[in-house]
Amino acid sequence: MQKIIIEKPYRFVPPHRGTRWPDFIQRFNLYGRYLKRFEGITSHEVRHSDRLKKSLDAGHGILLAPNHSRISDPLVLGFLAREVDCHLYSMASWHLFNQGWFKAWAIRLMGGFSIFREGIDRKSLATAIDAMVEAKRPLVVFSEGSTTRTNDHLHELLDGVAFVARSAAKRRAKEGLGDTVIHPIGIKYVFRGDIDAAVLPVLHEIEHRLGWRTSEELSLLERVERMGEGLLALEEIRYAGKAKSGIELSLRTADLINAILQPLEKEWLKEESSGSVLPRIKALRSRILPDMITGKLSAEERERRWMQLEDIYVAQQISCYIPNYLRDYPSVDRLLETVERYEEDLKDTTTIHGSLHVIIDVDTPILVSHERRPKGDEDPLMDELKQRLQAKLNELKAESQLYSPK
């Protein structure tokens, strides 16, 4: 399990508001150098930056809402900021500020501020709203809530985006400050290297870890799909007692997630659920974590809760696997993503392959009304954002080459 849960009291980390350091970082393209070395991103392309530039020139309160398939996404937006000559504010999960002083310093320096995802973080929300009202910089919010490693698919969006945008629009209207807008941003990664040379050693290592014979007689696609089936079956045996077959993959993954989460929901929330995964996970963590932070639990109870948090993390990772994602469109990029996810789930790290080209595509702005959200289950603002983002990802999917065996 990656260290996304921090067992200590939350402390809000505000953004650095000065421009001297961000100017220096932009001028010498330091984020580009970092991305090349640590994320394998060797080239980039910004499309339709004039749309954002127009909103900046008009003095709008701006929220940028990108998809979130890789941990490199926040830094990648630095290319866009440099293109339109601005700096950004960005919400960042608090665990990122607990991965060493340098990383925490760098995130804050570039306008990042913390958000506590295991509870209600009023200070962070207020900071986000203030940033949009002041409109000195655009605000970045990754509305999928976590990295997904499925670049062509948009997961369920968290409604905090609409809350922040509407709250800012209401204040800006009251103060006569003009429009508030959301720019959907499509981020697309294209692998331009040798896919066979990149993933075959990783597949070999995973097979070795699982005690499997190397399946070199299979095609690459068959080998990757076989590995996915095997990993799913292992988790089914672990949590449900047996592997399932003969039913749709979407039902298998949903059943597995419920097998993990529902016993925990029954214990901590007194009722089982079956809806969207991220809200369920947040609800569970918000109950399990507080007593751990106080340090008053016995060693046995603390260990039990850490095991439960690990199970919750597994459910979150499973929810990011899209049934038939590779089979429906067997592109080079989906192959790379799928193998990277296998590696990440087994080792908590991924191999840096290099040769990644990133495209940042800015959509036209969505005007945010200062009126209250309409009653009902569906939020028209979030619906439009989701439709726009998925349409942008569908468009960018054409940048990927279909895999062709050598």
Which one of 332, 347, 362 terminates a domain? 347
Residue 399 has a pLDDT of 98
On whether residue 315 sits in a domain, the answer given is yes
Domain co-membership, 201 together with 182: no
CB atoms within 10 A of CB 368: 26
Domain co-membership, 186 together with 59: yes
Tally of domains within the chain? 2
Residue 1 has a pLDDT of 67
Please answer whether residues 397 and 67 qualify as being in contact, where contact means their C-beta atoms are separated by less than 8 angstroms.
Answer: no
- Regions of the chain with pLDDT less than 50: none
Measure CA of the first residue to CA of the last residue in the chain; give whole Å: 36
Domain co-membership, 252 together with 165: no
Please answer whether residues 373 and 166 qualify as being in contact, where contact means their C-beta atoms are separated by less than 8 angstroms.
Answer: yes
Domain co-membership, 146 together with 227: no
Domain co-membership, 302 together with 360: no
Tracing tokens 């060693």 back to the chain, one arrives at 299
Residue 355 has a pLDDT of 97
Strands (E), 36-195: 41-47, 61-66, 89-93, 112-115, 139-140, 180-191
Q: State whether residue 188 is helix, strand or coil.
A: strand
On whether residue 7 sits in a domain, the answer given is no
Which one of 306, 322, 347 terminates a domain? 347
On whether residue 406 sits in a domain, the answer given is no
Domain co-membership, 330 together with 184: no
Q: Phi-psi bin for 355: left (phi > 0), alpha (psi -120 to 50), beta?
A: left
On whether residue 1 sits in a domain, the answer given is no
On whether residue 256 sits in a domain, the answer given is yes
The two counts, helices (H) then strands (E), for the chain are 15, 8
Residue 329 structural domain: 195-347
pLDDT digits 0-9 by tens, 231-242: 999 999 999 999
On whether residue 13 sits in a domain, the answer given is no
Report the C-alpha dihedral over residues 283, 286, 289, 295, rounded to 10 degrees.
Answer: -150
pLDDT digits 0-9 by tens, 200-219: 999 999 999 999 988 888 89
The whole-model pTM stands at 0.95
Residue 287 has a pLDDT of 94
Residue 373 has a pLDDT of 86
Q: Which two tokens stand for residue 341?
A: 């996810």
Domain co-membership, 152 together with 241: no
Identify the CATH number of the domain in which residue 54 sits: 3.40.1130.10
Domain co-membership, 177 together with 206: no
Domain co-membership, 335 together with 385: no
Domain co-membership, 37 together with 180: yes
Domain co-membership, 334 together with 361: no
Domain co-membership, 35 together with 147: yes
Positive or negative, the CA dihedral 272, 277, 279, 283 is positive
On whether residue 14 sits in a domain, the answer given is no
**CA-based diameter of the chain, in Å?**
68
For residue 292, which amino acid is it? M
Residue 5 has a pLDDT of 86
On whether residue 104 sits in a domain, the answer given is yes
Residue 2 has a pLDDT of 73
Instruction: Tell me 17's DSSP state.
Output: -
Q: State whether residue 184 is helix, strand or coil.
A: strand
